[in-house]
């Protein structure tokens, strides 16, 4: 199973010219997964919620607690996260001394090596904030920090829709477009820990501006905000479209997919979005040759209204040889993905 080898496998290094090639001896570690009797803590600061979950060595949740993150700054989040951790421990009938390790999934860029958040798109005070060390100090539990999309990818690969897969692409479709990439059983970080930023893949030359300021990125087509804005724009240009009648009542972005069949204007925007997603994912499939592509986040709640046409686009665009063994499917963990991923990371690093 992917995950248990991700951080604790033994590395062998060999110099080839100027390049150091490292290789993980996966089999050795796979024989020693965490024991069922282990207890770990998963925490998540993501999607406007704070969550804590205590789990056993098989990932079974024993106790949990959650609340909205509201308008808290970094110190407020730290204070409430500590309280939620205590509540989850009490619910599980445990105390911090019973817990082997903790993982935190954070909704924003992080430095996983130093346990720092880089900044938060939602809350002030997270600029180079030592969240892992501060929680470790308060709870007395060794703590690791990860970006929420990468944690969700890891959670899906260990306990969710990609169980047992060694090479996985996870695509998060929500407020932003994010992702996590696992290759041969290891989460991929890259030179400055930005690997998996699928939202910033270029899908058109000179397209609309992305939240990062660059033109034509996937996020400018496939984030919730981008999709809603483009639907409004399309309806403004089509005053007789039936979509005007029901678009105001459509609260979720998944709902837009479901009602597209009744509105030609909305259908065009949805088709366009799926085309861009298909282009990006087909490129990733050709590059990484994954076993599974997992589609998660609020937009994935559209279910087959999203998945079926997306699979068709991917089949249309992707390199045939890399399509043979890939499964494109919806995430299984839903809004729990980051906290379950944090549990999986705590287990992998404990």
Whether residue 347 contacts residue 3, with contact meaning beta carbons closer than 8 Å, is answered with: yes
User: In whole angstroms, what is the distance from residue 196 CA to residue 187 CA?
Assistant: 9
CB of 252 to Zn ion, least distance (A): 24
CB of 230 to Zn ion, least distance (A): 16
First to last CA, the chain: 16
Nearer to Zn ion, 226 or 306 (CB): 226
CB of 200 to Zn ion, least distance (A): 4
CB of 3 to Zn ion, least distance (A): 29
Paired with 143 in beta bridges are 102
Half-sphere exposure of 91 (CA within 13 A, CB side): 17
Percent of the chain as helix, strand, coil, to the nearest 5: 45, 25, 35
User: In whole angstroms, what is the distance from residue 307 CA to residue 254 CA?
Assistant: 12
Closest residue by Cα to residue 68 from 59, 77, 79, 56:
77
CB of 262 to Zn ion, least distance (A): 32
User: In whole angstroms, what is the distance from residue 133 CA to residue 142 CA?
Assistant: 8
Closest residue to bound Zn ion by CB: 210
Nearer to Zn ion, 36 or 212 (CB): 212
Nearer to Zn ion, 202 or 307 (CB): 202
CB of 212 to Zn ion, least distance (A): 3
Whether residue 95 contacts residue 88, with contact meaning beta carbons closer than 8 Å, is answered with: no
Nearer to Zn ion, 126 or 221 (CB): 221
CB of 6 to Zn ion, least distance (A): 27
User: In whole angstroms, what is the distance from residue 259 CA to residue 230 CA?
Assistant: 15
Nearer to Zn ion, 35 or 209 (CB): 209
User: In whole angstroms, what is the distance from residue 71 CA to residue 114 CA?
Assistant: 26
Strand order in the sheet with 61-68: 61-68, 49-56, 39-46, 101-106, 143-147
SS3 71: coil
The count of other CB atoms within 10 Å of the CB of residue 36 is 10
User: In whole angstroms, what is the distance from residue 1 CA to residue 217 CA?
Assistant: 33
Whether residue 232 contacts residue 183, with contact meaning beta carbons closer than 8 Å, is answered with: no
Nearer to Zn ion, 32 or 214 (CB): 214
Contact residues toward Zn ion (CB under 5 A) are 200, 210, 212, 214, 217
Nearer to Zn ion, 194 or 252 (CB): 194
Nearer to Zn ion, 96 or 207 (CB): 207
CB of 214 to Zn ion, least distance (A): 5
SS3 175: coil
């Amino acid at each position: 199973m992917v995950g248990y080898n991700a951080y604790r496998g033994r590395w062998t290094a060999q110099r080839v010219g100027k390049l150091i090639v490292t290789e993980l001896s996966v089999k050795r570690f796979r024989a020693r997964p965490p024991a069922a009797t282990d207890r770990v803590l998963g925490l998540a600061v993501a999607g406007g919620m704070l969550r804590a979950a205590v789990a056993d060595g098989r990932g079974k949740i024993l106790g949990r607690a959650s609340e909205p993150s509201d308008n808290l700054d970094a110190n407020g989040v730290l204070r409430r996260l500590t309280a939620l951790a205590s509540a989850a421990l009490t619910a599980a009938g445990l105390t911090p001394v019973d817990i082997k390790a903790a993982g935190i999934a954070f909704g924003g860029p992080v430095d996983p090596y130093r346990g720092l958040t880089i900044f938060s798109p939602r809350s002030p005070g997270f600029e180079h904030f030592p969240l892992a060390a501060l929680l470790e100090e308060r709870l007395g539990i060794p703590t690791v920090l990860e970006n929420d999309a990468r944690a969700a990818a890891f959670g899906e690969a260990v306990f969710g829709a990609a169980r047992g897969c060694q090479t996985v692409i996870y695509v998060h479709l929500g407020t932003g477009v994010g992702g996590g990439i696992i290759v041969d059983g290891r989460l991929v970080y890259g030179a400055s820990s930005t690997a998996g930023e699928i939202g910033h893949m270029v899908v058109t030359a000179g397209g609309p501006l992305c939240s990062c300021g660059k033109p034509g990125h996937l996020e400018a087509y496939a984030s919730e905000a981008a999709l809603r804005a483009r639907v409004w724009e399309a309806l403004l240009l089509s005053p007789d479209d039936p979509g005007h009648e029901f678009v105001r009542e459509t609260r979720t972005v998944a709902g837009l997919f479901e009602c597209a069949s009744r509105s030609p204007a909305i259908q065009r925007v949805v088709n366009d979005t799926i085309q861009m997603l298909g282009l990006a994912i087909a490129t990733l499939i050709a590059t990484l040759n994954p076993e599974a592509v997992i589609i998660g986040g609020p937009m994935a709640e559209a279910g087959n209204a999203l998945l079926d046409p997306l699979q068709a686009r991917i089949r249309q665009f992707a390199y045939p040889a890399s399509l043979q063994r890939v499964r494109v499917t919806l995430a299984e963990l839903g809004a729990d993905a980051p906290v379950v991923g944090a549990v999986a990371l705590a287990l992998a690093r404990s």
